[in-house]
Chains A and B, each alone.
Chain A
Amino acid sequence: QQQVKQSPQSLIVQKGGIPIINCAYENTAFDYFPWYQQFPGKGPALLIAIRPDVSEKKEGRFTISFNKSAKQFSLHIMDSQPGDSATYFCAASHAGNNRKLIWGLGTSLAVNP
């Protein structure tokens, strides 16, 4: 049973475009939603995270939008660059499961020059 559903599985955009990756969850106990970025040959690394008490969080060109009523959150990458080409994972956690991260399946993003 996949508790965090991520889409699309892969995405190709041109440089300067705004790729959007979406995640949906069912468990309303989740209260922390991080995004991790993984470059080829590397382990994932935390990119940005949000809690459900805010609807948006921005860090540089990366923005998380959060819709608590729809139980959805998304990652937007403004002015995307070829260096943003990576796999992106959304995740969720709550105190009731000892903060173990429940992961989406990942989105492979390619930004063409």
Chain B
Amino acid sequence: DADVTQTPRNRITKTGKRIMLECSQTKGHDRMYWYRQDPGLGLQLIYYSFDVKDINKGEISDGYSVSRQAQAKFSLSLESAIPNQTALYFCATSDSGQGYADTQYFGPGTRLTVL
């Protein structure tokens, strides 16, 4: 969805480097999410934010940190990258005003390789 953008789209880095993945959205949504996708493991939630002042850990937050700089921006950092963080990373947004039908809209993904 072009309304949710992620940069960079691809990144190759070395073990121990600090990496930041950025997500921006123009949908005006209050909720934002970071997921990691590995083959056969589905979508694992790393962190989520329900508004600028509300940030929560997901199921696999160890080794990651996030920053919600504005309602439209949510960045994911790997403080010291390790090879098992090689994966496809997705940002998603949703609108809490939808009630139970809280549809998540995904960005195009960032493919990260840690050597």
Interface residues of A (CB under 8 A from B): 9, 31-32, 34, 36, 41-46, 49, 51, 89, 93, 95, 98-101, 103-106
Name 8 interchain pairs, CB-CB below 8 A, sorted by A.
Answer: A36-B104, A41-B108, A43-B90, A89-B42, A99-B94, A99-B100, A99-B102, A101-B104
Contact A89 B102 (CB under 8 A): no
> A45 near B43 (CB under 8 angstroms)?
no
What B residues does A95 contact at CB under 8 A?
Answer: 100
B-side interface size class: 20 to 34
| Contact present for B108 and A103 (CB under 8 Å) | no
Contact check, A106 vs B42: say whether CB atoms are below 8 A apart: yes
In the bound complex, how far is the Cα of B33 from the Cα of A101, in angstroms? Answer: 11
Give chain A nearest CB distance to B110 CB in angstroms.
Answer: 10
* Cα of A41 to Cα of B109 in the assembled complex, Å: 8
The 3 closest A-B pairs by CB, nearest first: A43-B106, A105-B42, A99-B102
Interface residues, chain B, CB within 8 Å of chain A?
1, 4, 40-43, 45, 48, 50, 90, 92, 94, 96, 100-109
Residues on B with C-beta less than 8 A from A106 are: 40, 42-43
Q: What is the bound-complex CA distance between A100 and B56, given in angstroms?
A: 11
Q: Which residues of B contact A34 (CB under 8 A)?
A: 103
CB contacts (< 8 Å) of B45 on chain A: these are 100
Neighbour of A43 across the interface among B1, B94, B101, B103, CB < 8 A? B1
* Cα distance, A46 to B104, chains bound together (Å): 7
Q: Which residues of B contact A44 (CB under 8 A)?
A: 43, 90, 104, 106
CB-based contact A93/B40 at 8 Å: no
Cβ distance A57 to chain B, nearest Cβ, rounded Å: 13
Q: Which of B1, B42, B94, B96 has the most CB of A within 10 A?
A: B42
Residue of A nearest to B99 (CB): A99
When the two chains form their complex, are residues A104 and B42 in contact, meaning their CB atoms are under 8 A apart? yes
Q: How far is the CA of A36 from the CA of B40 in the complex (A)?
A: 16
Alpha-carbon distance A93/B104, docked complex (angstroms): 12
